[in-house]
Structure formats: structure tokens, C-alpha cells
Structure 1
């Protein structure tokens, strides 16, 4: 399925006099890395600990950290506006640091082998440390059908690798401008019928001027050939924030419905 749409003007602009969500920084213990790690957590407008919320884990790119989305992507404004327009299922959104190593700052040679390995190690940190922490400290649903993972660039590759590799954990998977860390389609989806039966939504998107678009196209073509339902959204733009913010706007509305 191909989706042709884009966010309306003003979707990422601060609005006066609407209910607001809250963005906070948390520290969680990571047995995978061996120290405490940071993440950012968005709780929706009119959040209440007596409710149970689905959770989206939203990942950053190779040059970012847990604050990258907050600093560049206006996620809290986009999500607050969607909630105000009754277009969004109220959800908790977690912004992890996908570089699972002791010094996880985005500094020095970002492509150093140990840093690339740290992005791979994040799978264990997410599944065994961060998700259990969130589900112990927030009123989060704990079933796979209430858990989503998505991300941009390096985080898009991680989302496909982790989400499709752990369908017992995630029913909703999205990738924006997936990077070369993305596993080959045959490895991502070795059993198309299983993926079809277990996925509530698989989203792939990329800017038409992005020099990494062949990665996303390759996954899209494989899924199409093997009859795996998914949304393919090729949009105007490059490997940059206007594309990823638009993707968040479009994808988030489809989650948990």
C-alpha cells in the first residue's frame, strides 16, 4: 500500500490554550551496558497513572542521542497538536539512546566499530532493560499489540532489525529513511506469512532525494513480492528533519488503532 499525503501547514507549530503533554529525562539501570542510561519520555496531555497507555519507542540517527528528536523534531508539539485534534491514541513515547555503550555520547568518530556495535547491542538494552523499566514505572500496557518501535536513519534500521526480529514484542514497526545498518530483507522477514499474521502495521518511508532510498526500496519490493502488507511512503525531500517530522505526524496517527 502506498500512502500519498503530508502534514498540513502548522502541524509542528506551538498552539496556545491546548492541553499539553510532558517531556522528561529518566535514568534507568542497564544490565546490558553495566551503568545507568538516560532516555526521554513523553507522557500525553491529561495523563493519568490510573489509565494504561500503549508505548512507542522512537529512535534517533547515528549522530544523535536520547535528546535528538526533542532538539530537532518538535515531537511534543506534533503529538500535543494531534491529541488536541483527536487524531492520536494517547500514548507514552520513549526516546532512548540507541548507542548502548558506557560513553554513549555522539562524539568523536561516529562510525568507529565499537560505536556501530553499540547500536547493535541496543537491542538487548531495549528488550531487557529499558522496556522493563518503563513498564515498571509507568502505567504502560505490556502486550505486544500495545508496543511500537520506529526511528530515523540509523534508528530506522534498528527499528526494522529489532521490531521484525522480535515480533513477540512489537506489533507496530516503522522506519524513516532506514540506514545501511538495516539487515537484508530476507533476514528481516524470513517468514512472510508469520510477519503478515503478527504485524498490525509495518511502515516504510523515505525522501525521494535521499541517497539511501535504495535500502528502503529494497525492503518495500521484497515485502511486495512476498505479499506482506505494509505502507510505503515515498515523499518529497532528502535525508533530513522535514521528512522525519512529517513521518512522525503520519505514522503516529495510525498506531494502536
Structure 2
């Protein structure tokens, strides 16, 4: 009896007649499982927000969604949830919009062999690995680096040292030389759109938000801009002025 040897579409290793070898199948299964296990903690990081602000509306105050202190975690959370929904639909699970992404990812990890029979299996493998790496960086970030945004070419997260940020240029592993300010602006705009372009906070809250993402602006500076008439408050919180994040960024780069 002749045994047909098939090469793994991912790594080229011989398989027992399957499209992907045992190692690549296991790697994808583990990546999906890691996303399911790590997503709850990522949710906590993304939800670690500035105090809820309020603005005058008619005769009283109306709550305004607070801004996330870690925009990268917020965006990654959204990406993983979207990916989980796509996997749920691909596996024809009993999917609905209210089903937790963690449940979808767990189910997908258990059905990895079925996923890898699909035509889009290479994309599933690549995306799962990409998100797992980004998740690991968020849960255990490098001590000397800050995430400034995403490479527009290869879509890798860009983690930079303070000296790289000060130098205003960073080299991505794909070979692209990128201007730090351009990356920061696109990242800030993407997250602001995802969370509502009117995301806002106090001078202290916005200063802390931007610092996490490699953008340094002092609370005192924001307050001075208001005194000089360059920045308008859009509400108050506990008697303190509240500003739009995007307005602050535009002033920094005028």
C-alpha cells in the first residue's frame, strides 16, 4: 500500500494526507485559545478609563462616554471581537450578535481542523497569529517601549523607545521608515472614530491618555491653551473643564 505524502501549506513539512501538519494545526489552535483566555484581561485594560465626564444639555447634565486610557488595547479588543464573529459565521455556529467573543474563540479553537479545511485557512492562520502576538504585547508590554500606532503597510503594532519617539522616525520590521507623528495621528483618529470622535476628558485625563500612547503634553499646557483662548472647553467634570482629545492633538500639531 502506497502512502501519499502531502506537504503542509504553511511550513512545507510532510503531513499524513492533510492540508496542514500537526504542528501548524496545533499552533493555530493554541493561538485561538490564547485569544479566548486573554480577551477578558484585555477588556479590563481597554476599559480602564478616565472618570466619566458630563456636559450641560438642556436643563441638566448628560453622561458622555469616557475615553480609554489605552487606545491600542481598545482597538485590539474591537479587532479580536470582529475576528471572533467571522469565525463563528465560518463554522456556522449558533452565532448571534450577543454571543461573547470568548465563547466563539473557544469553540473555534476546538474546531481548528475544520477551519483549516477552508479556502481562507491561510488568512485565518495569519490573523490568529498576528492578534495573539499583539495580545501578548498588551498583556506583558516591554518596559522601555510605548505603542504609538500601526504600520500602514504591514499593519504591525509599532512599539517605540522614548529616544525613537523623540527622533520622530521609526523603522518597522517590514522595512518602512515612518514618521512618528503621522503614525500617532492615524492611530488617534482611528480610535477616536471607533469610540466617537467627541471623546473627551479633563486636562489631566487627556495628558495621561496621550502619554500612554507616546504623546507627551502637560496638563498645565492644556490649561494654558484654554486661558489663551486657543482651546475651548466642551463641558465640565467636578467643576473642571473638559476638552475634546482631537482638539488637543490639533493644537499640538498646529
Q: Normalising by structure 2, what TM-score?
A: 0.25
- Structure with the higher fraction of residues in strand conformation: 1
Name the larger-Rg structure: 2
